[in-house]
Amino acid sequence: MPLSKPRLVQTVQHRVPPLHRADLAGVLVSETDLQKRIAVMGRAISKDYAGKDVLVVSLLSGTVLFLADLLRRMSFPLRVDFLGVSSYGAGTESGDLVFTKDLRLDVRGVHVLVVDDILDTGKTLRAVTGKIAALRPASLRTCVLLDKRERRIESIEADYVGFRIPNLFVVGYGLDFAERYRNLPFVGVLRPEVFEANARPERKGPR
């Protein structure tokens, strides 16, 4: 069970800005809702980690915007490191995992908080937590912005969850399709026609 109750998002609620209407079917989480929820998550995390030696481990590259906003809401001394993970597979399906960048800092004996963009099948978080746990941190918790619980294959839950969302392929706010859309300030739903037209058999692309 997450340590704080995630916000449930069930339907696409917001209108898409005209520039993105050809590619996006709707806005699932608005910029305002993202910022409000991240402020709440930051407060909860700050309370839980007060006085501890914390290392935030962010998974590249989908977490960039979430991490930047969340870090500003964490009011305690911390360090940040990055782990590169790529999933390879067809189209929007999760495939095999490859670590593309290792940690620089030593995690042994420190409190590690892994930050990821979205928890989907759970394969990524399972592999990452397994790798970090083997390095003997003092504690290990996970924080994700989005949770697509319906798609879970591995039995894994994140400790801090921003929004629980339906089974839709989402982009924006760091999340990409074929490296595009990361810069959108909201989380949008990609039109199926877009990923069907662009599905490449060899690779989903770096995260």
Catalytic residues: 120
* Sole binder of ligand XMP in the list 23, 117, 147, 159 (CB under 6 A): 117
Residue found by looking up tokens 């990361």 in the block: 182
The yes or no reply on residue 158 touching ligand XMP (CB under 6 A) is: no
The yes or no reply on residue 123 touching ligand XMP (CB under 6 A) is: yes
Residues 73-112 that bind ligand XMP (CB under 6 A): 87, 94
The yes or no reply on residue 23 touching ligand XMP (CB under 6 A) is: no
* Sole binder of ligand XMP in the list 23, 33, 159, 176 (CB under 6 A): 176
* Sole binder of ligand XMP in the list 24, 107, 171, 184 (CB under 6 A): 171
Between 102 and 150, CB nearer to ligand XMP? 150
| Beta-ladder partners of 118 | 146
Q: Provide the CA 176 distance to its chain's centre, in angstroms.
A: 11
Query: What does residue 198 show for φ and ψ, rounded to 5 degrees?
Result: -105, 0
Between 110 and 112, CB nearer to ligand XMP? 112
Residue 46 burial by Cβ neighbours in a 10 Å radius (0-12, 13-18, 19+): middle
Closest to 23 measured CA to CA, from 139, 178, 135: 178
Closest to 120 measured CA to CA, from 84, 89, 80, 74: 89
